[in-house]
Structure 1
Amino acid sequence: MNWSKVPMRAWFATLGLGCLGLVAVGMELQTLLRLAPCPLCIFQRLLYIVIGIIGLLGFIWPAGRMLWAALAGGLGVFGFGVAGYQTWMQAFPDLAPECSFTDPNAIERLVDWLGMEWPSMFLATGFCTSREWEFLGLSMANWSVVMFAGIVVYAALLFRQKRQA
């Protein structure tokens, strides 16, 4: 298959639906396995939602592809950092300042507010150092590092595309 023939809109739709799909899978795992998401988990969920919306905006208005790709890439880098920090917290729980045990930072305040507004989507009830779920030896935070890295690479490829269609 010649990937250069795929319309730009399809690439953005894939980004948007992929990110929103990650949120859906995460919420389903949370329900089925009775997982308790922490503030950093919820913030990553929010980043996936925002990147998903950006992807759908790129589908609707592909002429602004460089803006949409730059926004998605920037948020992907930020998400990579947040997920990386949570991965470090899980690897070294004795060194990590636990979420919710100190004065709340900006992320925790935002998550608290969102949790009050839409509890089923954004209520944080767990601890950031907890590794409640693992798949192939990686925690949810570890998988999130991989996903955000993929988003950054994907956004960089979208940004570099020469065509506008």
Structure 2
Amino acid sequence: MLIPKSRHLHILAFLAVIGLLATAMFFEHVMMLEPCPLCITQRIAFLILGLTSLIAAIHNPAGRGLRVYGGLILTFAIVGAGLAIRQLYLQGLPPEEAPACMPGIGYLADVLPMNELIRVMFSGTGDCAEVQWRFLGLSIPGWTLIAFIGYSLFGVLEMIRKRDIVR
């Protein structure tokens, strides 16, 4: 099986992240869906994935470099998948078991110390348990989980590929 050049795949991965983040901005600013702390943290994970892919495309590595970038992409994708799974878990809880709702993330950033803000960003709040949008039966974190799984597979591909082959 012929696999496109690594540089082309990284450019596609970067463009996919741009599309995902543009979709998030559309949801927030056009559909007026307020992002929760876990949503914002997943956006950051996508941003890091996109920047890693952009740097890899510019660098155009071979050999060990492919494995390093692949490992970074796999690591960030696994972290993002963990965040999406956490949000799906919160969305599956009965309302009485969901964590308490908190003020918006802007207010929390102003009043909470950094270590507490990071804890809230990674653990979620009651806002993270609210399902605001569905498509084909999946909520937003369900779709982001699929994207993170795709990036994980891409990271593994970059780690195991021997060389760039193109027709």
Report the counterpart of residue 85 of structure 1 in structure 2: 86
Contact 1:100 1:108 (8 Å CA) reproduced = no
Q: Percent identity?
A: 29
CA distance in 2, matches of 1:162, 1:31: 43
Q: What does the per-residue CA deviation read over 1:120-149, in whole Å, with 9 as the maximum and x for residues that have no partner?
A: xxxxxx911111111111110111111111
CA distance in 2, matches of 1:98, 1:146: 27
Say what the alpha-carbon RMSD is for the aligned residues. Answer: 2.4
Contact 1:39 1:99 (8 Å CA) reproduced = no
Does structure 1 residue 108 correspond to structure 2 residue 120? Answer: yes
Q: What does the per-residue CA deviation read over 1:48-70, in whole Å, with 9 as the maximum and x for residues that have no partner?
A: 01100000111011222211111
CA distance in 1, matches of 2:151, 2:31: 26
Unmatched 5+ residue regions in structure 1?
111-125
Q: How far did residue 97 of structure 1 move? A: 2.2
Q: 1:20 aligns with which of 18, 21, 38?
A: 18
For these two proteins, the number of residue pairs brought into alignment is 148
Corresponding residue SS for 1:33: coil
Report the counterpart of residue 162 of structure 2 in structure 1: 162
Report the counterpart of residue 77 of structure 2 in structure 1: 76
CA distance in 2, matches of 1:28, 1:3: 36
Matches within 5 A, 1:112-131: 127-131=127-131
CA distance in 1, matches of 2:68, 2:154: 14
Corresponding residue SS for 2:30: helix
Q: Whose Rg is larger?
A: 2
Q: How far did residue 162 of structure 1 move? A: 0.7
Q: How far did residue 161 of structure 1 move? A: 1.0
Q: How far did residue 19 of structure 1 move? A: 1.5
Matches within 5 A, 1:29-48: 29-48=27-46
Unmatched 5+ residue regions in structure 2?
104-111
Corresponding residue SS for 1:132: coil
